[in-house]
Chain A
Amino acid sequence: MTFATIGGRRGALWLRRIAASLGTMGVTFLGLLLVTFLIGRVVPVDPVLSVVGDRATQAQYDAAYRALGLDRPLIEQFWIWLTKVFQGDFGTSNLTTRPIADDIARVFPATLELATVSIVIGTALGIPMGVWAAVRQGKLVDQIVRIVGLVGYSAPVFWLGLMGLLLFYFKLDLISGPGRVDISYEYDFTPRTGLYLIDTAMQGAWGAFGNVFSHIILPASLLGYLSLAYISRMTRSFMLAELGQEYVTTARVKGVPEWRIIWVQALRNAAVPLVTVVALSYANLLEGSVLTETVFAWPGLGQYLTNSLQNADMNAVLGGTLVIGVIFVGLNMLSDLLYTLLDARTRDRQ
Chain B
Amino acid sequence: MLHSRFLASVALSALMLGTLPAASFAETPADTLIQAWSIDDIISLDPAEIFEFTASEIAGNSYETLIGYDPENVSDIFGKAAESWTVSEDGKTISFTMREGRTFASGNPITAEDAVFSLVRAVKLDKSPAFIIGQLGMTPDNVEANIVQTGPMTFDFKMDKAYAPTLVLYCLTATVASVVDKKLVMEHEANGDYGYDWLKTNYAGSGPFTIKDWRPNEAVILERNAAYSGDAPPMARVIYRHIPETATQRLLLEKGDIDIARNLTAVDIKALEADPEVKIESGVKGSLYYLGLNQKNQYLAKPEVREAMKYLIDYTTIADTIMAGKVKVHQGFLPEGFLGAYDETPFALDIEKAKALLAEAGLAEGFKVTMDTRNTPEITAMAQAMQQTMAQAGIELELIPGDGKQTLTKYRARTHDIYIGRWGPDFQDPHTNASTFAYNIDNSDEASAKPLAWRNAWDIPELSASTDAAMLEPDAAKRAEMYLAAQKEVLATGPFVIYAQEIEVFGERKNVEGVIIGPSFNDNNFAHVTK
Q: Is the Cβ of A221 less than 8 Å from the Cβ of B29?
A: no
Q: How far apart are the CA atoms of A113 and B402 in the complex, in Å?
A: 33
Instruction: Render A77-98 as a binary contact track against B, CB cut-off 8 A, 1 for contact.
Output: 0000000000000000011111
Q: Is the Cβ of A44 less than 8 Å from the Cβ of B251?
A: no
- Tell whether A23 is near chain B: CB-to-CB under 8 Å: no
Q: Closest CB of chain A to B422's CB: distance in Å?
A: 11
- Tell whether A319 is near chain B: CB-to-CB under 8 Å: no
Instruction: Render A111-126 as a binary contact track against B, CB cut-off 8 A, 1 for contact.
Output: 0000000000100000
CB under 8 Å from chain B, chain A span 292-315: 294-297, 299, 303-304, 307, 310-312
Q: Is the Cβ of A46 less than 8 Å from the Cβ of B43?
A: no
Q: Closest CB of chain B to A25's CB: distance in Å?
A: 31
Q: Is the Cβ of B448 less than 8 Å from the Cβ of A57?
A: yes
Q: How far apart are the CA atoms of A54 and B426 in the complex, in Å?
A: 11
Q: How far apart are the CA atoms of A312 and B23 in the complex, in Å?
A: 46
**Chain A residues near B32 (CB, 8 Å)?**
183
How many interface residues does A have (CB within 8 Å)? 64
Q: Which of A34-42, A169-177, A338-346 contacts B (4 or more CB under 8 A)?
A: A169-177
Q: Is the Cβ of B29 less than 8 Å from the Cβ of A183?
A: yes
Partner of B201, one of A52, A98, A177: A98
Partner of B12, one of A55, A166, A217: A217
Instruction: Render B192-229 as a binary contact track against A, CB cut-off 8 A, 1 for contact.
Output: 00000000110000000000000111100000000000
Q: Is the Cβ of A45 less than 8 Å from the Cβ of B128?
A: no
Q: Is the Cβ of B6 less than 8 Å from the Cβ of A210?
A: yes
Q: Is the Cβ of B242 less than 8 Å from the Cβ of A174?
A: no
Q: Is the Cβ of B405 less than 8 Å from the Cβ of A312?
A: yes
Q: Is the Cβ of B251 less than 8 Å from the Cβ of A166?
A: yes
Q: Is the Cβ of A60 less than 8 Å from the Cβ of B448?
A: no
**Chain B residues near A176 (CB, 8 Å)?**
5
Partner of B406, one of A45, A174, A221: A45
Q: Is the Cβ of B244 less than 8 Å from the Cβ of A210?
A: no
Instruction: Render B243-263 as a binary contact track against A, CB cut-off 8 A, 1 for contact.
Output: 111011001101101000000
Partner of B5, one of A56, A57, A214, A218: A214
Q: Closest CB of chain A to B216's CB: distance in Å?
A: 4
- Tell whether A232 is near chain B: CB-to-CB under 8 Å: no
CB under 8 Å from chain A, chain B span 438-474: 448-450
Contacts A55-B128, A55-B426, A98-B216 known; A297 to B243 CB distance under 8 Å? yes
**Chain B residues near A175 (CB, 8 Å)?**
5, 8-9, 12
Q: Describe A's contact surface by its main secondary structure.
A: helix
Q: Is the Cβ of B409 less than 8 Å from the Cβ of A46?
A: yes
**Chain A residues near B511 (CB, 8 Å)?**
none
- Tell whether B44 is near chain A: CB-to-CB under 8 Å: yes
Q: How far apart are the CA atoms of A218 and B448 in the complex, in Å?
A: 53
- Tell whether B131 is near chain A: CB-to-CB under 8 Å: yes
**Chain A residues near B254 (CB, 8 Å)?**
170
Q: Closest CB of chain B to A327's CB: distance in Å?
A: 21
Q: Is the Cβ of A97 less than 8 Å from the Cβ of B200?
A: yes
**Chain A residues near B21 (CB, 8 Å)?**
172-173
**Chain B residues near A174 (CB, 8 Å)?**
5, 8-9, 11-12, 18, 20, 22
**Chain B residues near A261 (CB, 8 Å)?**
none
Q: How far apart are the CA atoms of A165 and B243 in the complex, in Å?
A: 14
Q: Is the Cβ of A121 less than 8 Å from the Cβ of B405?
A: no
Partner of A45, one of B51, B127, B129, B405: B405
Q: Closest CB of chain B to A11's CB: distance in Å?
A: 48
Q: Is the Cβ of A177 less than 8 Å from the Cβ of B43?
A: no
CB under 8 Å from chain B, chain A span 13-51: 43-46, 49-51
**Chain A residues near B243 (CB, 8 Å)?**
178-179, 297
**Chain A residues near B248 (CB, 8 Å)?**
162, 165, 177-178, 295-297
- Of all chain B residues, the one with the shortest Cβ separation from A96 is B216
**Chain B residues near A178 (CB, 8 Å)?**
243, 248, 251-252
Q: Closest CB of chain B to A41's CB: distance in Å?
A: 13
Instruction: Render B227-246 as a binary contact track against A, CB cut-off 8 A, 1 for contact.
Output: 00000000000010111110
**Chain B residues near A96 (CB, 8 Å)?**
43, 216-217
- Tell whether A103 is near chain B: CB-to-CB under 8 Å: yes
Q: Which of A170, A176, A304 has the most CB of B within 10 A?
A: A176
- Tell whether A146 is near chain B: CB-to-CB under 8 Å: no
**Chain A residues near B28 (CB, 8 Å)?**
183
Q: Closest CB of chain A to B8's CB: distance in Å?
A: 4
Instruction: Render B403-419 as a binary contact track against A, CB cut-off 8 A, 1 for contact.
Output: 11110111010000000
Q: Is the Cβ of A44 less than 8 Å from the Cβ of B409?
A: yes
Q: Is the Cβ of A173 less than 8 Å from the Cβ of B22?
A: yes
Given contact pairs A50-B405, A96-B43, A177-B257, enumerate 15 new A-B contacts (beta carbons under 8 Å): A45-B406, A45-B409, A58-B450, A106-B216, A162-B247, A175-B5, A177-B255, A179-B241, A183-B29, A210-B3, A210-B9, A213-B10, A214-B5, A214-B6, A295-B245
Which A residues form the contact surface with B (CB < 8 A)? 43-46, 49-60, 63, 94-98, 103, 106-107, 121, 162, 165-166, 168-170, 172-179, 182-184, 207, 210-211, 213-214, 217-218, 220-221, 225, 294-297, 299, 303-304, 307, 310-312
Q: List 17 A-B contacts (CB under 8 A).
A: A49-B412, A52-B128, A53-B52, A97-B200, A121-B13, A168-B12, A173-B22, A174-B18, A174-B22, A175-B5, A175-B8, A177-B257, A178-B251, A182-B257, A183-B239, A297-B243, A304-B217
